[in-house]
Structure 1
Amino acid sequence: MPVIVLADGAEPGGHLTIIPIAHISIDSDHSHHSIKGRVVHKGPLVSSPIYHFFLKAAIEEENCGPQETSSINMVLLGTLANDFSQAVNQGDAVTASGFTVGKSPTARKDKRHLFNLLLSGEQAVIRVSPRPPGDLPTPREARTTKALPPPAAVSSAQKYTYVKLADLKPGVVVNVYGVVVFFKQPFKSRGSDMCSSLKITDQSEQKISCTIFCPKMESHPQIFQIGDIVRLHKVKTQPYKDSLTLVTTFGFNAATFSGMAGADMEPRSSSRTFSLSEEDRRMVTELRSWVASQNLLPPDLTVALSAAQPKMYFDLTCQLLAKAPVDSTCTLLRVWDGTRCPHALLKVRVDSNIVEGPTSFSEEHDKLIANVLVYDNHVRSARQLKPGDFLRIFNLRAIPGSVKVPGLSSSQVEEVNHLSFHLHGGTAYGRGIRVLPDNSPDVHELRRTMDIFHESNQEKHPEVNDSAMWGVWNTPPESPVSGASMEISTERRCDHDVRPINLGELMCCEPGGVHHVRAQLRSYQPRRLHRALKLYCSKCTSMQDVPDDERVANVYAEASAGPSGPTSPPPWSLSGPVHLAAGPAGHTLNVHLSKQLTSEGRTKELIFLTGCSLQDARHLAATYHNVVPVRWSRGGDLVLLDLSVPFLFRGRKSFYGCKQCSEGAGVREPTADGEKIMDEKDIAEAFGVQLMTFVLLLKFRLRDAGDTLDDVFLWRDAETFFGVSAEDAAVNQQAQDQIRQTLDSLCPPEGAGGDRPWLDLCLAAYNVIESNNIENTPTFYQICHTSTRSHKHLQR
């Protein structure tokens, strides 16, 4: 073992002579020498394409002469670097042997020895004596450690007083709660602000109008339906005719809650410093109970496409698939809600070059898509929408009869007896568009409806690729699109005591440390985000692209054309070949069931498929839990397919093995552990497969006021950064949308509205050593200990 941890009080053994650090020389033979010192610097463990791992550390010698160099850098490679990272802490005493000596490229900067120590391979050994509890810091630590200020006192949350609507007096700034009985979505005022209006009431049954002026859409109360509960802070009462009205003042903010009894307390807040007290919870609960006991709310006008009728005005909850400008006063939105309108719908043909989002859909999906024409003042709101957004469109009109789309007179054919959907200009009857948050109950219900359609359609048409319908993960922003509809910021989640520096200072720092910077994201790669998904082997630290369906299908086709196999089943098979009429086209599949994993009433079967296609495997995996495609070897044994393709399917998930680290043996009888349902790790271990995991890998280009920094990578902490797992991003549309929306917010395409936010980042600087050359190695940077958050949905 290259890193040996000594017991308390033990001295490092061995026959080697410990020499002073000052005696290290490139001209001397140090094969019989070792050096001893205390760790004063321990850099991060980073990956290297040659040595797998790389780590830089520094040790300082105690009791050295006043004129002697007391510290030296060490470069650790391979397994030694990994073991050192896990076993050694700053302040520990170490003794190193089996090293070679090279010139230190950072000696002038760090004032350490002119040479450094390179440790790698079996001959290199490090013995470590852990630092005793309460031990005093080394001289170098005492000089470099900064005294941390005491934690600031946390003030208690500000307590707000709320006034009943019947007790309002003119000319007073107040805080109020109320139930929405009328509202208009924000629209552009004559000045620079957006304007919205609403009318609220409470248990006093007093109805009060409110006029909101705010420059940004998200600062307005996010009201989705009559009956929502709003909390308004810092509004002023003003006389208006024979009543009072509320207007915004400095410091205004709003929070909106669902008015449904029993709903959660998650608010839609316009404030970045939102707080929710027990008093707030009590008031919301009381208003919900009061609303449930009253008959003051109008009927819900939300209608699914399947219930839309000619001449109807209704509210539609839907998902935006694509959009395109028709002319300066009209925008086309292509939407769906998982249901099919019973009437023939208007078809709108636009140039595919101006469409944002997918330009074509399968025949089955196309039947569910409705074209919504958005006019006049709502065009501004439509420009902010992104394909994939969930929307509530208020006061949508279904128009029957002969329709000709404006702006397309030269190419659009007049269609007769087709139903068309129009969102007219103006704000009457609450007319407008709102983006629904992901945690909205309406979005959850909409997703369930879409899931039902998806599952049903896959059973009927498994050959249909519905990636266009199910999101825009594979659709990069290659053309200018409108800015994101939410604001994203970053926050560091580390405890590093380092001062923030600019990018120019960062590029002058030596590798091996962590740094705090503030910069903007200017560009990222890959632009096609599905290519950011990689397969990673934790054993050999290799990384590879996820193979596309065409490549996987070819491997399965070649396996199907191979030997057909013996007529007798494997000894561990349940009952020989089992023919299931489960093929996509009704054909049978040759199936072998593992007898030890089949349990009555439980999904424990492990199904081995021979002669199957990729389509067969995925189709069967939708019904059965564990599906393993196999082939017959020339020796008459069942073996796994080439590990460049999935070796296991579980539902929508696919699992891959590392070709380099897997044993590659034939399929063996797996063993079951009582009633435990085996997971993918158990199955991989039974087959001798080294399981690979999904990771996200992106390269950023950062810029601050004076400099630009390339080669900034995000992968080890990518899941923390985006708040989603790479495994979910491989199969889950919501996770894909979150990554895409985050990047669109941090790095809006050129020509899009909105400013690029300034990001607070923690960066680790490191070298990648190639060909045993530790000098003049390029420096790279990796984003670590950093996460993003939406200003709309802050966690409290």
Structure 2
Amino acid sequence: MPVSVLAEGAVPGAQVPSHLTRIPVAEISAGMDCSRKSVQGRVVSKGPLVSPGGDNFVLKTVLQDSHSDSSSINVVLLGALAKEFDRAVSQGDVVVASGFTVGSSPTHHKDQLHRCNLQLSGEHACLFVSRPPAPPTGATLKRHSAQSAEEALHQLPTQGSSRTRKTPKYTYTGLDQLKLGVVVNVYGVVVFCKQPFRSRGTDYCSTLKITDQSNQIVWCSIFCKNPVDHPVIFQVGDIIRLHRVKVKPFNESVSLVNTFGFSAVTVSCADDGPLEPRTTSGSFHWDQEDVRKVQELRGWAATGQAAVLPAAVPLSKVEPRSYFDLTCQLLAKAPLDATCTLLRVWDGTRCRHPLLEVWVEPGMMEAGPALEPRDAQGLVVNVLAYDNHVESARQLQPGDFLKIFNLRALPAASSKAEGLAGSQMKEADASHLTFHLHGGTAFGRGIRVLPKSSPDVQKLMRDMEPLLQRGEPSDEEVLEVWCTPPEFPAGAEQVQISSERRCSHDAQQVTLSELKHSSSGRFHHVRVQLKSFEPQRLHQALKLYCSKCCSMCDVPDEEQLAAVFAASSVKPGCSGPPWTCSGQADLPSGSPGSPARALSIHLSTQLVCEGKTKELLLLEGATLQETSHLASAYSNVIPVTSSGGHMTLLDLSAPFLFRGRKRFYGCRRCSSATLREPYVKGQDSIDEKSVSEVLGVELLQFVLLMKLQLQDATDTLEVFLWRDAELFFGVSAEEAATNQEAQDVVSQTMDSLCPPGGSADTQPWLQVCVASYLDGDGKRTCHQICHTSVVRAPSAGAALP
């Protein structure tokens, strides 16, 4: 069986063959030999099963590494394996995959997951599935709650599990009350951290110093076989919870050492930072009592009593011969010799001192995406990682965000004295700086990869965006939608954001507290601020909506679409409809495919518009990239495949029509797609509506769907922004799907209404009309913003273009 399901509650991977070596998701790379490798992860997203034709099934899922919340990877399943996976596997199951191949992920820049994806098909691919026992009810945290657009639209209540178990209770010991030999649970603030390093035995070791309100400082030693099993600490000051650690003597004091069943949870130290826990465990408990403890420690640490070291130093404030921590992004890397690796990094600030250039042999530099700043002078610096850091540096990928601990700034003369060969140093003054990560782990020296969700990384991205050198978008990026925007560049026109109601209701203005206690089926006027919004990645707000069945779904990503097109590729020469002229055609000049590759192109010459013929291009056997390229030259491109000797449309999870940069989708429930002789009456031109009618496809429309949390002095309220979202932003959803300017309007509007890291004092007040109504089951009152638009006006004294 390609999919083997273990008994409920069985240990994940219990039946995996012994010859397979499990590898962490973070270590997967393109071109690696996977014949004796396996990957274990939890299913955090499961896409629909699609069939372009026949048995060419395709399914996409996302696996999150069981031991690293920050490592997730797309998995594409093909053929019978995809069908079996759809039947047997549910979201939340733990899966061990083997017999896979590694490819490049075309959606990496959008979904911010691993650069590669796993592809499973054929007789050698195998999946071992274990289902966790029924989760506890109550306040237990659901780490991967993902509500579909359909659920968000209809607000279906979550059904509790029929089997419940008692929520566990934990007792925590203060650091000043530890007793030798006792296994305890503790909370603390990290005042020192040494990243995992290889011990003298078979394990990796990491050491911490933590403290709490007692001002007692305690050492902690953690031993685990894999670095990914260690506490996920991004910086000194993080708050950590340790379960099942044993108190042992240490230098006339005590220390904590992990024991059987050990687990660690860490949370950001920032007072306004997210309360999302980072964990090394496959499952863990987290409730309001934990949130309360974290907030208490945050408040105590903010008073300065925790003796926390200063935050990372930006490059703009680095002084020669100083030691500092650096938060940065990796642009490129190169091995210099067996004991040294060069890392080219930047943090969006400019170093005040001249920088040393390092010579690298041609072909040895590994660069990533086109992220180079417009003016690299002073922005990009060279970091030399020595000795034991060479191994970890080689595993880094260009584009990764890093925290480098205990980095040293050295002048050129000292760099040469400390090991950098003179032949590798370009001619420079002795004061030119380079940056050294010396060997060893003293003072916490090391490197850690940060996830893009980290507050430090979010700030970096906003600082870097105005400095990036942007070229023309590639074919894969043409239809990539937007991310959360950067801050306004210096000198740009500043705007004041407000809103106005466009309704004729004579309702009196009420507070949110009064609104929440009022009956449904009414309109309300409120004066509010925007506290938060979902989704944070704004491209996820774009949905596809069917006006006939009122269903809503996500816009398929490039990786899923590429898999559908790849599965539909068949040899040309099938029998087409009588109204087509089949022929072989080479790809147009400049196509990304091989010039010698032939596609099956069918030209319709009988699409009638009041006696006029219009041309359709039916394209068979092309990849998604090739189809997009051809659509730039032809008005109407329809991808097709062969099934049972006849030509059919692709599965409607893929676009049924390409027109330039625009793609059009059909509803899978309401469509009766077929290729028949087309006739369009009473029209002078061909558009997507006429083509959809000819093909029997119910056309889906783009819409914007967001969940906003409003606040005033009395209460908070969650509302939807959907039916009047286009009025609210002043742009159409269809424009937002392909037009950068429209995307910028949405991004800048949300950034102004809810500034990252901003306080309530700086946020604008909005006049909003809110409709209250019952959900689809008639059991719950929901709220939606309506008849409201955002008003943008230049602020006083703003620089005008």
- TM bucket normalised to smaller: 0.3 to 0.5
Larger radius of gyration: 1
Taking structure 1 as the reference length, the TM-score comes to 0.42
Taking structure 2 as the reference length, the TM-score comes to 0.42
